[in-house]
Structure formats: C-alpha cells, structure tokens
Amino acid sequence: MYFVYSLLMGTAMLLATPWWLLQMARHAKYRAGLAQRLGFVPEHAKRVTQQVLWIHAVSVGEVLAISTLVKQLRERHPDRRIFVSTTTASGNQLARDRFGDENVFYFPLDFGFAIRPYLRALRPEMIILAETEFWPNFLRLAAKSGAKIAVVNARISDRSFPRYRRWQKLFRTVLQPVGMFLAQSEEDARRLVEIGAEKERVRVGGNLKFEVNSAMNVEIVHQVREGFADGGVQPLIVAGSTVEGEEPLVLAACAEVQKQYPQMAVILAPRHRERFVSVAKLVEGSSFQLVRRTAWRREPLMPGTVFLLDSIGELASLYAVATIAFVGGSLVPRGGHNILEPAQHGVPIVIGPHYENFRDIITIFKRAEAVRIVDAEHLGAEFLALLQNHAERSGPSSVGQRAAEVVRAQAGATERTLQALDRFLTGTP
C-alpha cells in the first residue's frame, strides 16, 4: 500500500511541477522552506542532545491552538527540547514569533527521503500532531523510529468525513501507528473510530482553540484606537480573515451602514498576505478612503476610512477596538475561520453561513445566542440591527458579552490534553 501511495504521490508531484515552478516564481510563500520540505534539516535542528518532543501544526490556526500547550509542556518538561513544524509560510512565521526561530522548521514532504533525515536528527521521543495530519509515510516511519505518536485537538470535518469513511480499510492501516487520539468533541471521537481508529485509543480532550489567549499588542491597540478617536470615528467595523470574493460583499454592507452612520470606518484584514495588493486596489475603487497599515504614520484616521491591515499578527489584538466584528471565510464556501479572538474581547460577532470548519465551536456559540449568522444579502442589515440595538451591541448581557462567557465556560482542554500526554509519554494507564 505504501509503495503504491508513494508512487502516486511522486507521479502527482511530477505532473504538477510546472504549476509549482510558476507559483514559486510568482509567490514567495511557495518558495519558503523548500529545502527543509525536501529533507534538508536546518542547522538548529541538528546535533540535538536533549530528548525531543516534536509538535506539528499546519498553519496559523493550529499554531494558535497549540501555543498554550507548548508553553505548558516547556514548563513541565524543562529537560526536553520542543520543536514545532508547520506547513504554511504564515504558520511558520507565527510559530517563529511565538516559539523562537531555533525551535521551528517546515514539515517535510511525505516521502521517505524527506522524512528520515528529521527522524535521524531529532530522534523524537514523542510526536504530537494537531488536528488531522494523517500522512501515511510519516506516521509509518515515525512509529518505526520508536517515537510515540499522539493526535491532539483531533477533528474530522463534515467535508472530509465521507471521503475518509469511503477509504476506511486503508485508513485503518494508516492510523495504526497513532497511539492516542484526543478529539475535540464526542462527534469527532465517533468519526475517528468510524474511519478506522481503534476505539480504545480515542478520547475526548476538548477543543484547544477555546483557550487561545492571543498575546495582546497593547501598543498597536492604543495607537489605532487613538487614531480613530482623533478622527471622530464611530462606529468601527472590523472585518477579519476575509478571503477572495468576500471583500466586495463586506464593502457593500459597510456602505449600507455608512448611509446611516456617516462617521463609521472599517478595519479590513485579508486572510492571506499575497492578496494585500489586490484588496488595496479594490478599496481604492470603492467609496471608501484607503489607509494601509504599513504606510500609516499615526495621523488621525477619518470617517469613511478602510484601514487595510496589511500586516501579520495584529488582527487578534485589533478586534478589541471593534464595535462589531465580522469573521471571514464564511460568506463564500471556504468553511469559515475562528471566531474566538473577537469573542475573547466581548465583541459582537457576525459571520456568514459557511462555517463547517468550525461547526462545533459555532454550535456552542449558537446555543448561547452569542453569534449572528447571515448571508451576504443581509450582512449590512445585520450590522445596522446591532448598531441600533444598544442592549445587544454593548449592554451587560450583549451578544458580545455572551460570546466572552462561552469562551470562559469552555476552559480546561489544555489541562486535559497535558495530563493525557504525560500519561502517554510515561506509559501510565
């Protein structure tokens, strides 16, 4: 099975080589970490003398989810070296910011020639995979090297589940090397078993993303809040993690708001950095005035401004200045993005109808009436409804305060995960 899989993977990569070369020429993110992905271990990961815990987090969301876990593991195991690998460039940058350049590298491609150098260099005692990183060759070779393998914050999305279940017999073999699964919910645990995980290895650990305590950048919050206050802006809509096709819809909705609230302004944060330029051009062609974060010199930010957040790592903090937060990836069928960052600030949250990637989180918020869900056609009307309803927008029992309470009530996943990992690491039943 593994030979056939590797052959198909190799053939697919060979056929896709022209496309990848084109993308590498056009976008730096496709060139980032290429040598590391191909199995060239960076110097800081060579000649490691301590025992190693290797944690893999694909992108920004997973890095945020494991941040507290990494901090606590370091405190509990000061004698062990903890490395974090990522797949995406944005995830890699955030991981280096949070965990240090010397502790981060790109995850190797799922070929033996790329994987084995890392296993030889690190000799990991335990490998911890965040969510659903089920790479067949990696799992097989990691287990063969003697590493214990755990999957934390495991989830099986609505989109992936039918496909995984269709190949259950193969997945049963692929998942065999994993010694422990800690699922986000009972539903995820059930799905893991259904696609081939051994039932006795599956537990519910909770959702680590509920305990994302993003480091507050107090300075940027103060600067931006002061900039909008000096310009007399009120209200301020923060639209975060928007994806292609959403910005025109968001700007149209904000234009509706502007008719009744001419002092309003917008902070717009596209999800992917390679779209900053195209989104800037889009704003320039709208009725709003563009101010790019990277060009801003702390002059007053005036009503009718779209403050384009063409930076990385500041969105989580700037949700704190929002009157209303919109979280993107949800007006178009992209599965949505995490709403916990604005929720932690007690900000009223609006999302679109496509949130399947975060269905469990959104379901909990829906039960508490702590999030508003609308389609693109009614987005502007929803913004206006919240602005016109003081109790729901900013009262002591507002939708934002209910969201903050949901986050507080879901605490504990990190501690449960830590305890389970400690028992797994030491072989304690």
Q: What is the DSSP string of 146-175?
A: T-EEEEEEE---TTTHHHHHHTHHHHHHHH
pLDDT tens, the chain, 429 aa long: 777 777 877 788 788 777 777 777 677 666 778 999 999 999 999 989 999 999 999 988 799 889 999 999 999 999 999 999 999 888 898 899 999 999 999 999 999 999 999 999 999 999 999 998 899 999 999 999 999 999 999 999 888 899 899 989 899 999 999 999 999 989 999 999 999 999 999 999 988 988 766 678 999 999 999 999 999 999 999 999 999 999 999 999 999 999 999 999 999 999 999 999 999 999 999 999 999 999 999 999 999 999 999 998 899 999 999 999 999 999 999 989 989 999 999 999 999 999 987 887 898 899 999 999 999 999 999 999 999 999 999 888 899 999 999 998 888 899 999 999 999 998 887
Q: Using DSSP bridges, classify how beta strands 104-106 and 126-130 pair: parallel, antiparallel or unpaired.
A: unpaired
The residue type found at 355 is: Y
For 389, the token pair is 């309803």
Catalytic positions are: 62
Predicted local distance difference test score (pLDDT) of residue 22:
76
Find out whether 150 and 421 touch, Cβ atoms under 8 Å: yes
For 387, the token pair is 């602005």
Q: What is the DSSP string of 257-325?
A: HHHH-TT-EEEEEESSGGGHHHHHHHHHTSSSEEEEGGG--SPPPPTTEEEE--SSS-HHHHGGG-SEE
CB burial of 132-171 (b: ≥16 within 10 Å; e: otherwise) equals: bbbbbbbbbbbbebebbbbbbbbbbbeebbeebeeeeeeb
Is the pTM higher than 0.75?
A: no
- Smallest CA-to-CA distance from 174 within 304, 6, 335 is with 6
Predicted local distance difference test score (pLDDT) of residue 326:
98
Predicted local distance difference test score (pLDDT) of residue 30:
66
Reduce the DSSP state of residue 62 to 3 states and report it.
Answer: helix
Q: What is the DSSP string of 93-151?
A: HHHHHHH-GGGEEEPPPSSHHHHHHHHHHH--SEEEEES----HHHHHHHHHTT-EEEE
Q: How far apart are CA 388 and CA 394, in angstroms?
A: 11
Predicted local distance difference test score (pLDDT) of residue 29:
67
